[in-house]
Amino acid sequence: MKITEKTIVGLTYELKVTKEGEESAPFSVEVRDEEDPFYFIFGLSGLPEKFETLLENKQQGDSFQFTLKAEEAYGQADDEMIMSIPKNQFSAQNGFTPEMLEEGNFLPLADEEGNSMQAKVVKDLGEEVLLDFNHPLVGFDLHFEGEVQEVREATDEEISHGHVHGEHGHQH
């Protein structure tokens, strides 16, 4: 079966990044191997469009190697995505510990609709904390090398829920 709209895709890969405009060797930021493959619904993943385009029509066992320029991936940093938030919003009652607010950490958060997101702690401002809500890979060129492990039809339930179910997906 080929990767097409609304198929479940399982990949193993290594992701390396380079900073746009800098002359340096790519460095590895993520490895998804046979023990922990990456699964998504093709066309409903929210992943960069170019990522999906370059995988389209591949089949189980096919290998891939490609680079997404920053503009094709997560774009450039948006200063409006950097905000000061009162520290009292990150209380123990809300599941936060003081160590979580240390500079460089990523905070697990949810938006008003309950969608998970994260923000990087940029600076402790005393009563407030400066958070960066830009995607962690913003401004980077992404270098993927991997293999298609599985391609299957998505179930109606997976499509309606917008995520993969079963062994490599969400458990209800």
From first to last of its 172 residues, what are the pLDDT tens digits of the chain?
A: 999 999 999 999 999 999 877 777 899 999 999 999 999 999 998 899 999 999 999 999 999 999 999 999 999 999 999 999 999 999 888 889 999 999 999 999 888 877 788 999 999 999 999 999 999 999 999 999 999 999 999 999 999 988 898 877 766 5
Q: Is residue 65 domain-shared with residue 83, that is, in the same domain?
A: no
C-alpha dihedral sign at 171, 151, 161, 112: positive
Q: Is residue 60 domain-shared with residue 30, that is, in the same domain?
A: yes
* CATH number assigned to the domain comprising residue 101: 2.40.10.330
Q: Is residue 155 domain-shared with residue 114, that is, in the same domain?
A: no
- Within-domain flag for 172: no
On whether the CB atoms of residues 74 and 130 are closer than 8 A, the answer is no
Could you tell me the residue range of the domain that residue 104 belongs to?
79-132
Q: Is residue 21 domain-shared with residue 48, that is, in the same domain?
A: yes
Q: Is residue 69 domain-shared with residue 85, that is, in the same domain?
A: no
- Within-domain flag for 47: yes
Domain count, the chain: 2
Residue 26 amino acid letter? P
Q: What is the pTM of this model?
A: 0.83
- The token pair at 148 is 């298609």
On whether the CB atoms of residues 73 and 48 are closer than 8 A, the answer is yes
